Amino acid sequence: MAFVLAGVSDTVSAKEDAKWLQWVTQQFETIAGENEEINLQEFKTALNVKEPFFAERFFALFDSDGSGTITLQELKEALNLLIHGNPMDKLKFLFQVYDIDGSGSIDADELRTVLQSCLRESAISLPEEKLDQLTLALFQSADKDCSGTITFDELRDELQRFPGVMENLTISAAHWLKPPTAQPRPYRPRPLTSAYWRNHRSQLLCLTAYVGLHVLLFALAASAHRALGVSVMVAKGCGQCLNFDCSLIAVLMLRRCLTWLRATWLAQVLPLDQNIQFHQLMGYVVVGLSLVHTVAHIVNFALRAQSESSPFQFWELLLTTRPGIGWVHGLASPTGVALLLLLLLMFVCSSPCIRRSGHFEVFYWTHLSYLPMWLLLILHGPNFWKWLLIPGTLFFLEKAIGLVVSRMTALCIVEVNLLPSKVTHLLIKRPPLFNYRPGDYLYLNIPTIARYEWHPFTISSAPEQRDTIWLHIRSQGQWTNRLYESFKASDPVGCGSKRLSRSLKMRRSQRRPQVSEMSLENHQFCNIKCYIDGPYGTPTRRIFASEHAVLIGAGIGITPFASILQSIMYRHQKRKHICPNCQHSWREGIQDDDMKLHKVDFIWINRNQKSFEWFVSLLTKLEMDQAEEPQEGRFLELHMYMTSALGKNDMKAIGLQMALDLLAKKEKKDSITGLQTRTQPGRPDWNKVFQKVAAEKKGKVQVFFCGSPALAKVLKGHCEQFSFKFFQENF
């Protein structure tokens, strides 16, 4: 039985109440067993809270006779009071939770104990001094008569100062047991909405053209062989479609060509940001057409083998060169079997369960089978080489250029910083001609970790930083874990005794200080050889051409936006002027040709408190930079969310959130991150977020997201509802 606080209306129909109480009764009987009573341990398990304090307090209040157990009747009486009681009854319940010794008032030590439990329940870690400050902030605000205790009336008055808290208390206390089943929402397929068609116009047009071309190719090839029977017509039609697909599928992964196309007008017409999705779609089509193509030939061979005029048996037609089928020494059948086996191997090893379960190497090496597949296709089909001529030339040119550029000069990892949540921050010496744009990514190879493996990572530094390239790498697979563990060792490879001298020399050569998050115990200076391939463009290149950009990063998904935010900071500093006489500072109001931003909303969602440390100094610098601007000139707004923290609609966090608000107003900074921006508990209410963005009317809104695919689906739905353009990192 899960006890949770839910925002439901006090006005509940008698029928719903009866149904709900029946569910509670069933759950109670399941836990209570034959004795029809629940003890404290069973109650703690049922309540499903991290901190036993709240379970013990709720148990004590529900156990009206003080017997040490809760009967079904006691549970019903307490819940009926919370459901049908007036707001004062619900406030009294909260007051009794805080009044630990039952004296009728709350002293400072009791409030501190409650807030400490609230912090643990929300997975927030603060120093003892900060806990004392929170306690004093809330206590002094509530203790109006300075008597040294908080009475019920004083707590009520304090809650009324926070309308949202008061409202959520009267709502959430009514139903804090929620049945597991919920009313299903009516489902409306997204492709049927006008907003979906409007936001996916280019993808749908390309998909329509792709399907139409396949129908045309199939029809032309099938009609040319209609005299040979249906099975041959199907095989030839599928074969012609496969000629097109197998020659084009690799072109969709030409990163240099795609990066170049992003800088042209074609980026507005072609769905370049969906190249990986189209590559995957084409892979499914190739597998499907290959199976149909194979089955059609098997049927044809079976019919030929049954014919009295055929000198060959079925297995000879299918597996040998004796029948002379094909344009190169009768190799069509054996190469066809080999192609199908290779294709199925690639298909299985490309599944998400392989790629995302720490076996990326399996996916990578089996995907290199495209080289022998192309060779077999040239031997298998007489016309495939014609289809491959142009795409294949582009492909091999890009690969050759990439190999030369990436291996031309070995670079050095000069600094490493191990951040919370197993994030490795690398600083790589920047090569002279490495020009990139904010949000771009590169492929990294570190021979000491894995000689032949290349992995893509977003560049988290701004292009204006001329000396080093920053990478923030989250440990999520075998390679990234090996990277983290290698630097976690006391003396990693390449970190010698002269590292401090090298670091000081490098720092003196830097033109300006950089924003970095350094901790002495996890900071190392190194000289480790590495290679990079890139840079490559992403959808975030469109940000500076946007009018109102909403940047949403989930966890380590902040990395492309860190580069963008730093670039914005550098550009603003470049436009800043200071009068030599009076030291008055001002900024040019003229925007860059490639920067049309009127407003930027940056939203960062983290599961835990430690993750904010990755870029907290960067965000602090941005806030300081914005504070120098007049109110009307501030176009950057930060929004921080911590999903593990309980919100104000939860009785186990109301006091804590009130204290955090009070202390933030007093100190002008957030207690969780140290930023001026208050960290909000829980997940964003996306409907409210986008309503606020739409109401600001700062120009055409474009939403850029980097994070989990599950959240991407949610955001896509909301963007379609508000007609916002949505872009997602896909590399």
Instruction: Report yes or no on 672 lying in a domain.
Output: no
Q: Report the pLDDT averaged over residues 30-42.
A: 73
Quick check: 720 and 567 in contact, CB under 8 A? no
- pLDDT tens digit sequence for 223-237: 988 888 888 899 999
- 602 has which bridge partners? 551, 638
Instruction: Report yes or no on 712 lying in a domain.
Output: yes
| β-pairing verdict for 636-642 and 679-681 | parallel
Final residue in a domain of this structure, among 405, 435, 469: 405
Q: Report the pLDDT averaged over residues 40-55.
A: 72
Is residue 389 located within the same domain as residue 446?
no
CATH of the domain at 532: 2.40.30.10
Selection from 703, 731, 536, 687 nearest residue 199 by Cα: 703
Instruction: Report yes or no on 719 lying in a domain.
Output: yes
In what side-by-side order are the strands of the sheet with 548-554? Answer: 679-681, 636-642, 599-606, 548-554, 701-706, 725-728
What integer pLDDT is reported at residue 555 of this predicted model? Answer: 84
Helix (H) or strand (E) holding 83: helix 72-84
Instruction: Report yes or no on 282 lying in a domain.
Output: yes
Q: Report the pLDDT averaged over residues 652-667.
A: 84
What integer pLDDT is reported at residue 242 of this predicted model? Answer: 93
Instruction: Report yes or no on 708 lying in a domain.
Output: yes
What integer pLDDT is reported at residue 243 of this predicted model? Answer: 92
Is residue 141 located within the same domain as residue 279?
no
For tokens 């809330």, the residue is 138
Is residue 171 located within the same domain as residue 86?
yes
Is residue 96 located within the same domain as residue 164?
yes
What integer pLDDT is reported at residue 83 of this predicted model? Answer: 64
Contacts by 25-30, CB closer than 8 A, 24 or more apart: 25/72, 25/76, 27/1, 28/1, 28/72, 28/75, 29/72, 30/1
* 286-290, 292-296, 561-565: segment of lowest average pLDDT: 561-565
Instruction: Report yes or no on 676 lying in a domain.
Output: no
* 40-49, 89-98, 236-245: segment of lowest average pLDDT: 40-49
Is residue 400 located within the same domain as residue 414?
no
pLDDT higher at 622 or 459: 459
What integer pLDDT is reported at residue 65 of this predicted model? Answer: 81
Instruction: Report yes or no on 495 lying in a domain.
Output: no
- pLDDT tens digit sequence for 78-109: 777 666 666 677 778 888 888 888 888 888 88
Mean pLDDT of the chain: 78
Is residue 312 located within the same domain as residue 457?
no
Is residue 357 located within the same domain as residue 439?
no
CATH of the domain at 713: 3.40.50.80
Quick check: 684 and 639 in contact, CB under 8 A? yes
Selection from 346, 202, 186 nearest residue 274 by Cα: 202
Quick check: 332 and 326 in contact, CB under 8 A? yes
Is residue 558 located within the same domain as residue 706?
yes
What integer pLDDT is reported at residue 725 of this predicted model? Answer: 85
> Which SS3 state, helix, strand or coil, does residue 418 take?
strand
Q: How many domains does the chain have?
A: 4
* Residues in the chain, total: 731
> Which SS3 state, helix, strand or coil, does residue 676 take?
coil
Is residue 392 located within the same domain as residue 432?
no
Quick check: 136 and 53 in contact, CB under 8 A? no
Instruction: Report yes or no on 514 lying in a domain.
Output: no
Helix (H) or strand (E) holding 639: strand 636-642
Is residue 31 located within the same domain as residue 114?
yes
Which domain, by its residues, includes 615? 539-578+593-644+682-729
What integer pLDDT is reported at residue 219 of this predicted model? Answer: 93
CATH of the domain at 120: 1.10.238.10
What integer pLDDT is reported at residue 220 of this predicted model? Answer: 93
- pLDDT tens digit sequence for 687-722: 899 999 988 888 888 899 988 888 888 888 888 888
What integer pLDDT is reported at residue 186 of this predicted model? Answer: 42
- pLDDT tens digit sequence for 148-187: 888 888 888 888 777 655 555 543 433 444 444 444 444 4
Residue type, 728: Q
Is residue 97 located within the same domain as residue 40?
yes
Selection from 580, 667, 510 nearest residue 137 by Cα: 667
The pair phi, psi for residue 441, each rounded to 5°, is -130, 165
Selection from 119, 121, 83, 77 nearest residue 6 by Cα: 83
Contacts of 28 (CB under 8 A, 6+ apart): 1, 38, 72, 75
- Beta strands, E only, 91-247: 106-107, 149-150
Is residue 264 located within the same domain as residue 148?
no
CA atoms within 13 A on the CB side of 603: 23
